[in-house]
A and B are shown apart, each in its own frame.
Chain A
Amino acid sequence: MERRDLFKIIAATPVLEAGQALAQHQHASTTGPFPGETGYKMKFLTSAEEPVIDRLADIIIPADSRSPGAHDARVVHFIDLFAHYGGPAIQQRWRDGVAAVETESKRRHGKAFASLDRAAQEAIVATMASNEGNPGTALEHFFALLKQRTLDGFRYSRVGLDAYFGYKGDIPSREFVGCNHPEHQRV
């Protein structure tokens, strides 16, 4: 069931006394396709940069037994938006970051990052992450930006929200249950 349908149902429920207000509650109009959806058109990342970011994000948040990962969530779309609206300085960091990854890839293997096998790509990410919290090199600085925006994109995506977090909020509820575990009540 769609969330909007839930709102309509609750709106018609007298006990909530929310009917009129919720019925009048107009959701702001938007136009898709939205990030994460088929048909999303890249605004900033080039066709060469997109697969690099897509793979880097997927190494940071991979698919595993818990849930699909950043590639399945199309986190690269979200990163494209963050970069597009981030202004020139942020855009340059993305551009320079991808260039640094490509330079490292060519130094190690003589070819582009996207053409490496996953193990080789993961080895580059390991280098990028080696001084997290105290970055020194261009790759290390880029990792901090990449990781934060990968997590942001993932948590704002349908895959992240539903499959990973199992998020059940942001729907109208009649009550808030709170903690009902007797073991948590004990001192």
Chain B
Amino acid sequence: MWSNDPMAATVYDICIVGSGFGGGISAYALTQLGLKVALLEAGGRLRAGVDYGHHLKPWEMLERRLAAGFTSPVDSAWDLREKDHFTGVGDRPDHGWLKALGGRSLCWAGHSLRFGPGDYKRWPISYDDVAPYYTRAEKFMGVYGYKDGLWNMPDGAFSKGVPMRCAEMMLKRGVERLKKKGARMEFVAQRKAMLMERHPSGRPLCHFCGKCGGCCVDAKYTSANTPIPAAMRTGRLTVLTDAAMTRILKTQDGRLVTGVEYTNSKGQTERLMAKALVLSCNSIETPRQLLLNNLANSSGQVGKNLTSHFGVHVIGVFNDLIDRRAPNDEGTGYYHSLLTGLYWDEPSKEFENTYQVQCGAGLLPWRLVSTPRGYGSAFKKSVYEENAAQAGMNMQGTLVQSPRKFVDLDSDKKDRFGQPRVRVHLHYEDEDIRMAQDAVNRCEEIIQAGGGRVVATPGRIDASKLIIDYNHWVGTTRMGTDPRTSVVNTDGQSHDVKNLFVGDASVFPRYPEKNPTLTNVALSWRMAERLAEKMKRGELA
């Protein structure tokens, strides 16, 4: 049921805080297993195609967008994200937080890549432990893709794939030519959680409008359109929106959590009692809540081990394509292809982690990538040709974990409840810069090998040119088998407080180059099942 006034006398089996990827799938899994669940979400409900996601023409949309402070006439659920909830320290950290039912799943790009056996070598669990949950997650979310046979980005339960555009094929050509000279890398089509075939959820099929950041019909998987409605249908889920947790309630000895205190939409303080608590707030807010409540941190690792993806952009133009008359290039968002397989078999000597490169192309008037010099008819001709023939390469590398990247509390700045805001500390290391330089050099090489010319590149890299991925933070409540060096165990359960679990990407102990969401959903699903088993065995009391 929907509620802003939960039954005060009710003690829920589970309280989940946060309704994004981790919280949504946890609510689904736990209610399927017969447990009574309350789901707290700090934001309200947003409706696809109403509150975000419009198909108005740009001239119809422009004024309302300018009036709202945006410059693009294309709207996205991203436009609704919080921006003033954290303090950045160092090299321009940023954080995306969409306070709404479904959280950032409303505005994600849909990329759904499995971590591979090689990635799990540095985890306390193996690929085989997670593989069944990947398969379930792919089916449940509706992931499309092609079978590529890559050992460290395994194929999954895909619906039919979506092909690349012409300029992406030029990049693929460049990759294949370099592979013939000994380069070790792969170029494949993307895998995304957007419906290409009928799906049990009843979500409509993708109609290829390209505005995936605010999918107007819910063809893209979100927590709000698939797991939460399914959990609601069990009759065992209560969803509380506009409910911001302000305190975690504990037993007197602090050994167990008993529920949460939260502020409702009227500003009133309420309590919700539960036998177990799942934090699915995100990799910045979950450690903040643990630090605020002085909870689950005997290891001192809460907020540490922070990492994310970062990158740079390189753009090429292929003369073979400059005369093409544009078809409908929109598809499923800009990136239809992926450069991957880099340093899987033989790690770099220059940096510990690796990177992938998300690639896109197409004549997309709202996303012109090239503004040539000059004016007049020659300029007009160049604008068309360069944008019709462009391919963009967006490096996505993994930041090395270091003591200079972490999350803590800001004692100087408070949120609206008077509690310390979170500080995000980001300082790029030389190793990060070396990786980005490697990526830039490689992208330029691929464009040229494919017959193109580089029209935009950061060139020589320094920290000022790096762009942080504000959605991909992980690591701040890392899992491990040793309570002295990790926050949660391999089931996502706090080492210190046995009825406290974490269901988000903050549990990732190490981070490959691949996008985090599919693994977040798979691991949260696994966590929820482990939680339910432990509860039924009476191990959480």
Interface residues of A (CB under 8 A from B): 3, 7, 10, 16-22, 24-28, 30, 32, 34-37, 59-62, 64, 66-67, 69, 78, 81-82, 84-85, 125, 129, 132-133, 147-148, 151, 155-158, 160-161, 164-181, 184-187
Contacts and interface: CB of A to CB of B under 8 A. Distances in A.
A3 B58 CA distance: 13
Interface string B356-368: 0000000111101
Contacts of A64: 377, 380
Given A17-B205, A18-B207, 4 more contacts: A60-B375, A151-B371, A172-B207, A174-B207
B365 A27 contact: no
Contacts of B54: 27-28
B204 A21 contact: yes
B166 interface: yes
Contacts of B373: 132-133
Interface in B154-195: 162-166, 168-170, 173, 176-177, 180
A139 to B, nearest CB: 13
Contacts of A21: 48-49, 203-204, 217-218
B56 interface: yes
Contacts of A36: 59
B94 to A, nearest CB: 23
A165 B377 contact: no
27 contacts: A3-B55, A17-B198, A17-B205, A18-B217, A24-B49, A25-B217, A30-B61, A36-B59, A37-B59, A64-B377, A66-B381, A81-B63, A129-B374, A155-B368, A156-B58, A156-B59, A156-B62, A165-B365, A166-B325, A168-B327, A169-B364, A170-B55, A170-B210, A170-B211, A172-B209, A178-B165, A186-B173
Contacts of B371: 147-148, 151
B329 interface: yes
Contacts of A82: 66
Given A60-B379, A161-B58, A179-B166, A155 B366 contact: yes
A56 to B, nearest CB: 10
B489 to A, nearest CB: 41
A184 B59 contact: no
Central interface residue in B202, B219, B380, by most chain A CB within 10 Å? B380
Contacts of A171: 209, 328
B298 to A, nearest CB: 49
B317 to A, nearest CB: 15
B208 interface: yes
Central interface residue in A16, A169, A186, by most chain B CB within 10 Å? A169
A146 to B, nearest CB: 9
Central interface residue in B57, B66, B371, by most chain A CB within 10 Å? B57
A32 B371 CA distance: 30
Contacts of A161: 57-58, 365
B55 A7 contact: yes
B364 A181 contact: no
Contacts of A185: 169
B381 to A, nearest CB: 7
A81 B62 contact: yes
A25 B49 contact: yes
B332 interface: yes
Interface string B37-68: 00000000000111000111111111110110
Contacts of A168: 326-328
A85 B72 CA distance: 13
Interface in B489-528: none
Interface of A is mostly: loop
Interface of B is mostly: loop
Contacts of A62: 376-377, 380
B376 to A, nearest CB: 6
B336 interface: yes
B73 A156 contact: yes
B132 to A, nearest CB: 28
B173 A187 contact: yes
B80 to A, nearest CB: 14
B63 A35 contact: yes
Contacts of A180: 163
B49 A178 contact: no
A158 B57 CA distance: 8
Given A125-B375, A161-B365, A25 B207 contact: no
B444 interface: no
Nearest to A24: B49
Nearest to A147: B375
B386 interface: no
B366 to A, nearest CB: 7
A158 B59 contact: yes
A35 B168 CA distance: 35
Nearest to A64: B377
A71 to B, nearest CB: 13
Nearest to B387: A165
Contacts of B218: 21
Interface in B198-257: 198, 202-205, 207-211, 216-219
A59 B376 contact: yes
A16 B62 contact: no
B23 interface: no
Contact of B170 (A10, A165, A178, A184): A184
A160 B329 CA distance: 17
Contacts of A177: 163, 327
A68 B175 CA distance: 40
Contacts of B20: none
B455 interface: no
A184 B389 CA distance: 13
A151 B383 contact: yes
4 closest A-B pairs by beta carbon, nearest first, are A178-B163, A18-B204, A85-B66, A172-B207
Contacts of B24: none
A118 to B, nearest CB: 12
Contacts of A132: 373-374
A26 B49 contact: yes
A66 B56 CA distance: 26
Nearest to A43: B63
Contacts of A176: 162-163, 208, 328, 331-332
A17 B204 contact: yes
B330 interface: yes
A177 B62 CA distance: 30
A177 to B, nearest CB: 7
B12 interface: no
A167 B363 contact: yes
A39 to B, nearest CB: 13
Interface in B336-392: 336, 363-366, 368, 371, 373-377, 379-381, 383-384
